[in-house]
Amino acid sequence: MDIATGLAGFLAEGGVRHVFGLPGTETIELMEATRRAGIDFVLTHHESTAAFAAAITGHLTGRAGVCMVAGGPGIANATTGILAAHLDRMPLCVVIGDHVAAPGLPVHQRLPFEHVAPGIVRARLSAAPDTFGDELPRAFAMANGPLPGPVLVSVSTDAAGLAMRPPATPPPHTDELRADPEARLRDVAARLSTARRVLIVLGIGVTHRAVGDRLVRLAEALGAPVTDTPQSKGWFPNDHDLYVGTIATRRNADVVGLGNRADVVLALGVDSAELLGPWPLTPPVLSVSPANAAEPAIPAEIAVDAPFPDALDALLAGVAGRAGGWPRDEVEACSGAVREGLAPPASERPGAGLWPQEVVGILREELPPDAVATTDVGSHKLLMVQQWVARTPNSFLCSTGLSPMGTGLGFAIGARLALPSRPIAAVIGDGGLLMYAGELATLRRLPGPLVVVVMRDAALSSIRVKQARRGYPATGTLIDADLRLADAARSLGLQAARAEDDRTLRDAVRQACGSDRPMVIEALVDPRGYEWSQ
């Protein structure tokens, strides 16, 4: 069995059903091997989109998602996606169809393998016949480890056809306890049992383990309000009485104010990659996470690296029978203030079109409760993070660590294929769409429905708002107002609609939800609405 066939077989046996990417001369044999193994190659129109889609597939399935790119310009274009997987803590394998490495060859399109994302990737593997079979499982184990992230697998054109020695050792297990945390978990439980007011902060670390209803039971046992980070939204139901909103975002003063009245903060899976600024809370912190519990940016009094859900079971046992909790009126006042703070005053009216808050509200009302929402980066993301009601795990997907534009569409593409039975919706800005407009053609080829709402405000509003607050003119942040993005989507064979008021938007969302294929809705919004969410 040659290396290309061995790689494809390993992926298929590991449950990989889709490989995302763009072809190059160096990937032809690898692509053919994956086809023969029954793996679909999903053509995207930018390598970063391929990496975004693969990373979110890994996040949703718990197994590293795979993208395939050519060496040189292909891997250079994919670098944004690699860096996003690193800071968003998502398991990703990037397979590189690479050039032959030998002295005296021209340097045309060559990018030395060791120069790709130095210090970022969890593992870096160059295929060789005698070692590839053993090293490949280890690389995937590192991608899927307690701190998930990207790995690179380079297969040069001369190596792809070489015979591969079968693996000699089984892959390592990655979910074992690494430092005997039981005693420190007992210490955490003891502190929680004596604290009168506990605030629970959820982070990205909780999303990589099957926590079930343990988070709800722990919060209820402690009578503790719960706040989350954008990437952990939905792992604690956002419609629960103890949920108070998202802390790692703008306009979070109400949540921070409540948290600073706590006796102790229990940080579960919190990672500083998600924080938009310094740690905002002053009470003592008890940090429990699969990895990174003791990172310097989160000032933990006790830090425990332990896998979920085992750690949650230990904490639940340790606080059993605890009485009391936070006064419910304070919790309700905080969550109410968060909701009210997002809405423009009733005296205000949109100059034209819709408030972006209306768009988010209508979309949430019209989508089924189990819908999965992805959001791109920009002003609309800050609004979605604060306003969207996520009720179940993996129902709200965004990038926070790196926060590159383009993830909204890439994540939606991956989610559509990884979760074929779930309704999927993407909220993106006109700026993000224009950066990756070629992916509209990728959407056309996807099976099943997908609602894409484009917040059309003719501006890069996240930056434009900051310019205005500093008294600067809108330099480099305005987009042509006469662009008709719905027409562009139709020209590529997609269903599309243009919505200028709540009635036309609601009708368009209902049409998209009732369709059997993707639909783009261009929602005309008044960017002044973002002034209340950032």
Same domain, 399 and 525: yes
Same domain, 304 and 347: no
In a domain, 168, yes or no: no
Contact 195, 163 (CB under 8 A): no
Beta bridge partners of 285: 265, 300
Give the least confident one: 7-21, 133-147, 291-305, 327-341: 327-341
The length of the chain, given as a count of residues: 534
Same domain, 461 and 519: yes
Same domain, 386 and 258: no
Domain residues for the domain of 138 are: 3-156
Q: Global pTM?
A: 0.94
pLDDT 10s digits, 129-166: 999 999 999 999 999 999 999 999 999 998 999 998 88
Q: Of 97, 121, 156, which residue is a domain's last?
A: 156
Work out the angle at residue 200's Cα, subtended by the Cα atoms of residues 198 and 205, and round it to the nearest 5 degrees.
150
Same domain, 193 and 314: yes
Per-residue pLDDT at 171: 54
Structure tokens at 209: 């383990």
In the Cβ-directed half-sphere of 17, how many Cα atoms lie within 13 Å?
A: 9
pLDDT 10s digits, 57-102: 999 999 999 999 999 999 999 999 999 999 999 999 999 999 877 6
Same domain, 64 and 210: no
Q: What is the CATH number of the domain that holds 58?
A: 3.40.50.970
In a domain, 197, yes or no: yes
Tell me the average pLDDT across 256-279: 94
pLDDT 10s digits, 320-369: 888 778 888 999 999 888 888 887 877 787 777 899 999 999 999 999 99
**Is the previous residue joined to 146 through a cis bond, with omega within 30 degrees of 0?**
no
Same domain, 419 and 458: yes
Q: Of 279, 314, 336, which residue is a domain's last?
A: 336
Radius of gyration of the chain (CA): 24
Buried b / exposed e over 142-154, threshold 16 CB at 10 Å, is bbbbbbbbbbbbb
In a domain, 53, yes or no: yes
Per-residue pLDDT at 112: 78
Structure tokens at 146: 């307690």
Same domain, 143 and 17: yes
In a domain, 162, yes or no: no
In a domain, 176, yes or no: no
In a domain, 174, yes or no: no
Same domain, 363 and 506: yes
Task: State how far the Cα of 480 lies from the Cα of 463, in Å rounded to an integer.
Answer: 16
Domain count, the chain: 3
In a domain, 177, yes or no: no
Same domain, 152 and 231: no
Work out the angle at residue 209's Cα, subtended by the Cα atoms of residues 405 and 245, and round it to the nearest 5 degrees.
55
Same domain, 390 and 486: yes
Same domain, 199 and 270: yes
Q: What is the CATH number of the domain that holds 214?
A: 3.40.50.1220
In a domain, 482, yes or no: yes
Q: Of 139, 156, 173, which residue is a domain's last?
A: 156
